[in-house]
Structure 1
Amino acid sequence: MDDHAMTVPECKPWWRFPLVWMVMAGPAVVVVASFVTLWLAVRTPDPVVESDYYRRGIEINRSLARKNLMPAMTGRNHAATPESDVPAPRR
């Protein structure tokens, strides 16, 4: 058999292989998603907490106590407790 009779397969450029594009698609999607996230973060900044947030919270708790409603933590902790055993809200 003649060694020159064997044909060497033609080499295609790297961009002609679909698997290369599939491997590069994952990181490309992540980069695009990160820019979308950055754009959303810059476009809609978080609201600033008010300086008197603590006083306003205390006022809300007092108004709930006047309406005979409990703060969330007390209500959650006593959700299954019989009503006769539930302690009165703190003031």
Structure 2
Amino acid sequence: MSASQKAAPGGSQPWWTFPIVWMVIGGPAIVVVAGITTAVIAWKHVDPVLDTSAPRAQALQPNEVPALLGRNRAAENAVTPADR
């Protein structure tokens, strides 16, 4: 046996030779790397801010009509607490 392969006094091994140590260190390290990666992606690919204060410049699209009719019908038939 060479000097580097001999066990430490008392029969114990160095801490880095135990697989559980790398699991304990590796778990939080992976989470930190994933968090930094997510932050970089969010910073580089920011969604544009939509201007909702301006009136709609375009007419109703044909696919929006059923939703608007359903909303209006529901509002007409709504029962208020005063009606009970």
Give TM-score scaled by structure 2 length.
0.57
Q: Runs of 5+ in structure 1 lacking a partner?
A: 1-7, 76-85
RMSD: 3.8
Q: Runs of 5+ in structure 2 lacking a partner?
A: 1-8, 77-84
| 1:42 matched residue in structure 2 | 43
> Offset of 1:73 from its aligned partner?
8.3
* Residue 17, structure 1, aligned to residue 23, structure 2: no
Compare 31-40 and 43-52 and name the one that shifted more.
Answer: 43-52
Runs of 4+ with >4 A deviation:
none
**Alignment CA distance shift 1:11-1:73 (3 Å):** farther
User: Could you give the per-residue CA deviations for residues 7-36 of structure 1, whole angstroms, max 9, x where no partner exists?
Assistant: x75111111101110121110110000110
Give the count of matched residue pairs. 68
**What percent identity do the matched residue pairs reach?**
33
